[in-house]
Chains A and B, each alone.
Chain A
């Protein structure tokens, strides 16, 4: 990895100032960024660690009943502390492996928007709000394609707010070597309807399966999905699985998620 300047500010304001330098890069837990830098696929001139910012740590309950998670909160902390939203805690408890969960952060995962990451599906299916140092972004506007988000240069995810659903479940079909999702489906049932978000499958990154949402909002049962099909068009096609295979998994995992709710 090429060398860089290192800064570890203790406030959001200092981090924003440090990131104003050209080619500066925020560092969450580094579980994706550091391997990327080792391969020289990224070579920032400055790394700004967000791990020392106490106001971006931890899980709490908002006034409206939503679960609020600081952007620098690790997966392990979410798994242990997000008991108000059990499906979210369960998702966090199965990302990567224990040591990775002790470093990786929710803000880092959402900022990176890996097409096979778990968190984007939870954020999109929950209609979460991504809070940054500058604004609040609805999940529907935030995810803009593989590794692409609404974040501007130097913008930091300080918090993520999840409305708590009546029922929810996440099903991940793991790619056995990397443990990333070959396909992952997050189903969340709210009073005003059901939302279904799919990760791992599409070349465009996480997406909502709107046909399934309509069917499940009318009849919340796995049976309601019988007549639906997912096209393999635009699905990721690689040595781990074809587009058709991933499309098939989307329906299977959605049914499993509904059955487990």
Chain B
């Protein structure tokens, strides 16, 4: 067992983990931050996407010990302290960017990663960036629309409803 500590959503946390403990398991089981989901557990679906030191990673394919000392952001830290949704979350709600909601935490974190580096992405750029995030409801049109809207662009001409 190894002692690790990291910053998660601005708070310093620590715990004791095995070598094999995945970051997603540390977040969910030790910190009880169950907003980060495990979909495929094979690094394909992206439901477990979180940010580590400012970049999106699949937390099911990163060891918790590798995140020792890192700055981690999860879906739980996206809303304001008063519970108000951030711009991306509000756009997902407004434009029906979720159906069952299982992939949504990963989609929101992937979208935040995109908009940080590319504040006004094209529809094609959004779709390319979401290559590693799978929506089993196949609700991609409205997810793309939500991210377009969150970037402040006009979405009235997008075909998706």
Partner-B contacts on A (CB < 8 A): 1-6, 8, 27, 30-31, 34-35, 37-38, 47, 49, 51, 76, 96-100, 102-103, 179
- A-binding residues in B (CB < 8 A): 2, 18-20, 22, 41-43, 46, 49, 55-58, 61-63, 65-66, 68, 110, 113-114, 129, 131-133
Leading 10 A-B pairs by shortest Cβ distance: A97-B132, A6-B19, A97-B131, A102-B55, A99-B56, A4-B19, A6-B65, A99-B58, A3-B20, A1-B20
A-B Cβ contacts below 8 A, count:
73
Contact of A103 with B62 in the complex, beta carbons under 8 Å: yes
B42 pairs with A99, CB closer than 8 A: no
Q: Are B19 and A3 touching (Cβ within 8 A)? A: yes
Query: Is the pair A47, B63 in contact by a Cβ cutoff of 8 Å?
Result: yes
Q: Is the CB of B61 within 8 A of A35?
A: yes
Residues of A within 8 A of B19 (CB): 3-6, 47
- In the complex, the answer to whether B63 meets A6 with C-beta atoms within 8 Å is yes
Give 20 pairs: A residue, B residue, CB < 8 Å, sorted on A.
Answer: A2-B20, A3-B19, A4-B20, A6-B2, A8-B68, A35-B42, A38-B42, A47-B63, A49-B63, A51-B66, A96-B132, A99-B110, A99-B132, A100-B43, A100-B58, A100-B132, A102-B55, A102-B57, A103-B62, A179-B131
Q: Which of A38, A97, A100 contacts B41 (CB 8 A)?
A: A38
User: In the bound complex, how far is the Cα of B22 from the Cα of A47, in angstroms?
Assistant: 13
Cα–Cα distance between A76 and B55 once the two chains are bound (Å): 10
Contacts of A30 in B (CB 8 A): 61-63, 66
Inter-chain CA distance A99–B49, complex, in Å, is 8
Q: Does B62 contact A98, Cβ atoms closer than 8 Å? A: no
A98 in complex: contacting residue of B22, B63, B131, CB < 8 Å: B131
Q: Is the CB of A8 within 8 A of B55?
A: no
Q: Who on chain B is nearest to A77 by CB? A: B55
Chain A CB count within 10 A is highest, among B22, B56, B65, B133, for B56
Q: Indicate the member of B18, B57, B61, B131 with the most A CB atoms within 10 Å.
A: B61
Inter-chain contacts of B63 with A (CB < 8 A): 6, 27, 30, 34, 47, 49
Q: Select which of B2, B18, B46, B65 is within 8 A of A99 by beta carbon.
A: B46
Taking the closest CB of chain A, its distance from the CB of B38, in whole angstroms, is: 12
Q: Which B residues are in CB contact (< 8 Å) with A1?
A: 20
Give complex CA distance A102, B62 in Å: 11
In the bound complex, CA of A98 to CA of B133 (Å): 10
> Which residues from chain A contact B41 at a C-beta distance below 8 Å?
38
- Chain A nearest CB from B107 CB (Å) reads 12
* Chain B residues with CB under 8 A of A27: 63
Q: Is the CB of B61 within 8 A of A31?
A: yes
Q: In the docked arrangement, what's the CA distance between A179 and B42, Å?
A: 14
CB distance from A45 to the nearest CB of B (A): 10
Q: What 13 new A-B contacts, CB under 8 Å, besides A98-B131, A98-B132?
A: A4-B19, A4-B20, A6-B63, A8-B65, A27-B63, A30-B63, A31-B43, A49-B65, A97-B46, A99-B113, A102-B56, A102-B57, A103-B61
**What are the residues of chain B within 8 A of A4 when measuring CB–CB?**
19-20
Whether A103 touches B132, Cβ cut-off 8 Å, given contacts A6-B2, A8-B65, A47-B19, is no
